[in-house]
Homo-oligomer: A and B are copies of this chain.
Amino acid sequence: MSDSISLGTYLFARLNQKPLGLNSIFGVPGDFNLTLLDKISEVKDLHWRGCTNELNAAYACDGYSRVKGNGSAEGLGFGALVTTFGVGELSALNGVAGSYAEHVGMLHIVGIPSVDAQKNQLLLHHTLGNGDFSVFHKMSSHISGTTGVINDPALAPDVIDRVIREAYINQRPSYLAFPANMVDVPVPKERLNKPLDLNIPKNDPELQEEVIEEVIDKIRKAKDPVIIVDACCARHNANKEASELIKISNFKYATTPMGKGTKDIDEQNPKFTGVYVGSLSYPHVKEAVEKSDLVLSVGALLSDFNTGSFSYSIQTKNVVEFHSDYTKVKGATYPEIRMKELLGKLIQSQALKQVFKEHLHQSNCERTFTTPDAQKLRGLK
């Protein structure tokens, strides 16, 4: 039995393998990706989902990734899309740009002319006729988290592993240029024995400790905190942590339009106030959020659609922002402090649990003395 497989098969085996576990590849065949597409059938349980055009394929792949992310038990969303050089890949750009804007993990694989054709600067079809084969790669780089070009057989599997990893972890499309003549290059099969490491990088422990203390301090000083769950909470798989924070804090909470339906966020709980979308919100939601003196924002994606055309009336000085790749506590930004690990540590913190208890006691006391019935009892009304 051969101890090598083709590079094309390696790519699809990686995508099919756990932890990714893709079963579908979307796209449109074209001159420069035909040999590559042949390799899909070599991977068991991996299926080609041919689409009627590349834009459809990009949207299908985007949807697949979203559903896989928010719907599956574990892990982030991911999808893969195959187009052909030039006219094919350009047709997919609007879909890919949408995935970039909304943090959707996706690998855009583009079958490109052979390395020799590029070296000789052939005026091939699908080119601009100027001998520059990197134009479309450059165009896509503006809407990609990272890009990779396969040109060296020895390094090719590393390039593949890198672009998959970055697309997955950052939940942004990666672009992979795959020359037609590299599809059958043999690579060691044993590389597949070690699954891809798709773990999110660990936060710096000392800096994270500092952030946790700051956040707890802000919560302690706040009288009326509120939690907002937004789109990137689900996209970056922080829903369980956010749900636990909601449960143990007993704070009121809202979602945004794009955060609505986030898995694990209970919308039946009395503490759930509804959907906050700036001036377009129901009055009670607007009041609950905007009168709060501390907003804990998880995975915000502040597009005009998602904010009621930027009609948020939350003051920056009252906000703690938990993001996939940084954290902001009021005015202070902490780069590389990622929300999933930070929220995980936060909800385990005994100090925070103590603060929540104080909050609960205080809020119960206030309720006792300030509800109409209590006021009547106390002769205030």
Contacts and interface: CB of A to CB of B under 8 A. Distances in A.
A144 to B, nearest CB: 11
Nearest to A302: B123
A137 to B, nearest CB: 10
Given A87-B94, A91-B94, A139-B139, A101 B128 contact: yes
A207 interface: no
Interface string A113-148: 000000000111101110000011011001100000
Contact of A94 (B90, B124, B142, B302): B90
A325 interface: no
B142 A138 contact: yes
Nearest to A103: B129
Contacts of A254: none
A57 interface: no
Given A86-B97, A87-B94, A94-B87, A143 B128 contact: yes
A305 interface: yes
A135 B143 CA distance: 8
B304 A123 contact: yes
A354 interface: no
Contacts of A343: none
A198 interface: no
B138 A303 contact: no
Contact of A101 (B94, B100, B127): B127
Task: Give the most central of A91, A135, A136, A142: most B CB within 10 Å.
Answer: A142
A102 B130 CA distance: 10
A90 B129 CA distance: 21
A138 B135 CA distance: 12
A61 interface: no
A86 B301 CA distance: 18
Given A123-B302, A302-B123, A304-B123, A97 B101 contact: no
Contacts of A97: 86-87, 90, 128
B303 A129 contact: yes
Interface string A79-111: 000000011001101100100111000000000
Contacts of A102: 129
Nearest to A127: B101
A334 interface: no
Contacts of A282: none
A123 B143 CA distance: 15
A94 B54 CA distance: 12
Contacts of A101: 127-129
B94 A304 contact: no
Contacts of A139: 93, 139, 142-143
Interface of A: 86-87, 90-91, 93-94, 97, 100-102, 122-125, 127-129, 135-136, 138-139, 142-143, 301-305, 307, 310
6 smallest CB-CB distances across A and B, nearest first, come from A101-B128, A101-B129, A139-B139, A90-B94, A123-B303, A135-B142
